[in-house]
Structure 1
Amino acid sequence: MHELIVIEHEAEAGLGFFAGWLEGAGVRCEVVRPYKGEPVPERAGDGLLVLGGAASAWDDEGYGWLPATRALMARSVESGVPTLGICLGAQLMTIACGGTVERGTAGLEIGAGAIEPLPEAADDPLFSALPAGPWRAVQYHYDAMTALPAGAVRLATGSQYPNQAYRLGERAWAVQFHPEASAGIFASWTGTSDMDPLRVADLDARVREAEPELEATWRPFAEAFAAQVAME
């Protein structure tokens, strides 16, 4: 099987649906947990996936492995290794490759939100595998990608934050949302928040209701990324 290096920033933000989807597509995930003291590797294997987490992408003091993660992503993008950044991972890739990430001026984006494909998505190796948009996806982020790296191709947008997905080069992707997140994972995030319990219950219910659609939408995306890894 082809090996995918996965950088996990916290136990609560793991592979979710992607674990089964990627393995089913012939990719073995080697999960690296730097929050447990495991070192970020110098090089990815056949591919690199960097997951989300509560950190801000610039908080090197609070999360000491972020510089090494950004450096790994920059090397992987430059060398053409299939790379996918999810939420925090997308923001780390953005900074690593010369873009800008800031605290979002439109506030917290959370729940089962709408993602609008841009025309460039129709020919993209990953997004062209999806059913017709718009799509729904799990969101949970305060920070935003406000300026994309030079040469980035925007693939999807949204009403609250415009930069929802982009491709950099031929084989690197960044998505602001969480295609890997199940309803259970989302509920574990809201369950530790200080939001009003009624709002939490509503958000959780909406994601549970959307879960079959989420699986149908994002499984082909994960499988298309696995196909890129399998080319190595």
Structure 2
Amino acid sequence: MKTLVRNFLANVFLTLAFAIMLGLIAVLSELDEKATNSLLVVAVSMTFVTYYIFCEKDLHVKTGAYPVFRYAEGDSRWPELVYPVLMFAVIVLVLYWNNVISFQQTYAIHYQSLLLTLGAAAAEEIFFRGYVLAGLKKYMRLEWAILISSALFSLAHHSGNIVNLQYAHHFMFAVAMAAVTVKYRSLLCAIVFHFISNYSIGVRMDYFSEAYNGQGFFQFHDRAASIFYLQVCIAVFLVLSCWIAKNYYATLKLKP
């Protein structure tokens, strides 16, 4: 646990130092506020992610923290890349068949949004499923560690009343991402799905605002459509988590 905490603190210190340096450069270069904020968000998230990846093999061996890239020989990597795409495809198809979304007609790739969503997704997965989950499972059963880290994730993303559909969505999302992380012993699947989801529906993650509809591959028709989206996601994440849990415990029983 001490190794994990030391690594996290070192990561935070390095990330903050790099952000301060870039902030000073941005001020001296007289960049506008929007450009400065975007630069800092990308820099902070990417520095945090890079440091974790640099140390992940040692962390995995000493603390059991999940790496982004696995080191066990003979393990297949394709499910970690295919499953998140299939999961998101199922969600989008259900939404499309129920006529609650419209695909953007003139969508263009915005590299700033691409970097923002990729950096944020990777940093969040590394923090909550890398550091937090790894630390909690040292002191309690894995099931409780997943539930508590998922509750912390949903609280960190919540604004307003704690008892509502948005909170349930974030909680089930976190449980599902923790489940695939445990199954594949890697953060890659969770990062890929988190990134695809965020980038497809926009950078600003407010499901009930007018601004939410302008930056992704598709947009919701109305408030009822966004609520239906949350319900579909919760159902998919619940089924995924139950399926993985069943297979995970079946595998444990087969071990000598």
TM-score, normalised relative to structure 1: 0.27
Higher helix share: 2
Q: Which has the larger radius of gyration?
A: 2
TM-score, normalised relative to structure 2: 0.25
Higher strand share: 1
